[in-house]
């Protein structure tokens, strides 16, 4: 169930008010490294210390079903000025970029907590003379490895000499490379920082 802030509840229950709920759209592109912040409004607003530019866009209802499929949504952003299309053309149509939808109340912009916040990932995009259309899906690929790093009994995932590894500069002078085994970590007096999982049953330390 959606939980509104106290300020938003007061505004919602008022007989007459000039406050409105605003939909904000944040698009974080990696190529080029750009963050677009848009608000569906007639004027720019400032929220969370950032300026959100008034820009026409429309979105469908978030679709969910009882079959376990991931939620998805389609967003159409005005393409009359070609500004959004320009950024998409620089990097694969924006596929893989993170899109976050916020709902805030115009009378409660001092609060950094949105009334609603949902994050998605751009899975497809297209453009015509009027609209740039984004197909958004959940930004949590089910086929991706979880956790991202493999847990191995006798292999350290850390880069040799990195902050995670923590081996001293003097040890690196004596041992320029490391095969990332527990035995070699012990030889370098660094086993306290070993990144493998020696508690996994079976196997030998070599």
Examine the domain organization and report whether 98 and 157 are in the same domain.
no
Domain edge (last residue) among 103, 137, 171? 137
Q: Which of 137, 164, 194 is the last residue of a domain?
A: 137
Q: Is position 1 within any domain?
A: no
pLDDT tens profile 40-79: 999 999 999 999 999 999 988 665 555 555 567 899 999 9
Share of the chain above pLDDT 70, in %: 77
Specify if 81 maps to a domain.
yes
* 25 neighbors 78 (Cβ within 8 angstroms): no
What domain range is 61 assigned to? 6-137
- What was the pLDDT predicted at 94? 87
Least Cα distance to 133 among 87, 93, 89, 90 occurs for 93
Give CA–CA dist 56/131, Å, rounded: 10
Task: Please write the tens of the pLDDT for every residue from 86-110.
Answer: 888 887 888 889 999 999 988 889 9
Q: What is the pTM of this model?
A: 0.59
Give, as one character, the DSSP assignment of residue 51: E
- Calculate the alpha carbon distances from 69 to 58, 98, 185 in Å: 23, 19, 45
**Whose structure tokens read 């197909």?**
135
129 and 51, same domain (yes or no): yes
Number of structural domains found in the chain = 2
Query: Regarding beta strands 57-59 and 72-78, do their DSSP bridges make them parallel or antiparallel, or are they unpaired?
Result: antiparallel
β-bridge pairing 21-29 and 34-39: antiparallel
């Amino acid at each position: 169930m959606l939980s509104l802030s106290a300020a938003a509840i007061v505004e919602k229950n008022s007989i007459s008010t000039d406050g409105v709920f605003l939909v904000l759209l944040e698009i974080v592109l990696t190529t080029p490294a750009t963050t677009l912040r848009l608000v569906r409004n007639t004027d720019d607003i400032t929220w969370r210390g950032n300026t959100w530019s008034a820009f026409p866009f429309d979105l469908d209802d978030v679709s969910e079903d009882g079959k376990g499929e991931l939620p998805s949504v389609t967003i159409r952003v005005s393409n009359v000025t070609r500004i959004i299309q320009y950024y998409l053309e620089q990097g694969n149509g924006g596929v893989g970029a993170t899109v976050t939808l916020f709902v805030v109340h115009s009378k409660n912009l001092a609060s950094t907590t949105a009334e609603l916040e949902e994050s998605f990932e751009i899975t497809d995009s297209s453009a015509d003379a009027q609209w740039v259309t984004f197909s958004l899906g959940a930004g949590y690929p089910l086929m991706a490895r979880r956790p991202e790093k493999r847990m191995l009994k006798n292999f350290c995932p850390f880069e040799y000499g990195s902050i995670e590894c923590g081996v001293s500069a003097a040890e690196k002078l004596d041992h320029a490379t490391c095969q990332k085994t527990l035995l070699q970590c012990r030889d370098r007096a660094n086993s306290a920082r070993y990144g493998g999982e020696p508690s996994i049953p079976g196997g030998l330390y070599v």
